[in-house]
Amino acid sequence: MNCPKCSKQMTQGTLGGRGYNFFLPMGETYPKLLSDKILKKKNATLLPSDIYGGWDISDWPAAFWCSECKMLVADYSHLMK
């Protein structure tokens, strides 16, 4: 997917949370423990906190991250009724 702001290729991954909110690139395994150091090793991008916080990430939105613009695009369609 291309960034809607700058048109550069975006990195595909998923949203994550549990005290931290972050974007985890595709191919990285979800960490069992969360810390700044662990998330940095996983190439995660920390995001501002919000309402997410569950352990089960299977229904979390697929996401795309533009490291140039710091833009996150997430697909919430499967979560909407």
Per-residue pLDDT at 50? 53
pTM over 0.75: no
pLDDT tens digits for 4-38?
A: 999 999 999 987 777 778 889 999 998 888 888 99
pLDDT tens digits for 41-72?
A: 999 988 766 554 555 556 667 789 999 999 98
Asked if residue 23 lies in contact with residue 47, where contact means CB atoms within 8 angstroms, the answer is yes
Residues 6+ apart with CB under 8 A from 25: 11, 12, 13, 43, 44, 65
